[in-house]
Amino acid sequence: MTKKPLMLMILDGWGLSSEKKANAILNANTPNYNKLMKQYPNTSLEASGLAVGLPEGQMGNSEVGHLNLGAGRIVYQDLTRVSQDIKNGGFFKNPSLVW
């Protein structure tokens, strides 16, 4: 197997949308980015809601995004963990909370 160089490019705050109206990224002149996207394999990641451990529909942020990338998995934030525990009944069986 031939080892090839790999690049992880994090474009913090760079949203992806096909809607041109009010979209600074899509309306900008980005020749280098466009070339990279056409020439090399690439993907995008979900950066909000449950995909990064936040409540559904909640916008992500830099801290949460980098935490999940570094962990290599979803790191549920406190509010989401408590909400999930209440939903699945674990909250009411937690010995630290119930006496």
Query: Could you tell me if 17 and 26 are in contact, meaning their C-beta atoms sit under 8 angstroms apart?
Result: yes
Contact by Cβ (8 Å): 56, 50: yes
Clarify whether 62 is annotated catalytic: yes
Which member of 17, 44, 48, 62 is catalytic?
62
- CA distances to 1, 10, 89, 99 from 84, rounded to whole Å, are 43, 29, 8, 21
- What Å distances lie between residue 26 and 20, 23, 30, 35, CA to CA? 6, 6, 8, 14
As annotated, the active-site residues are 62
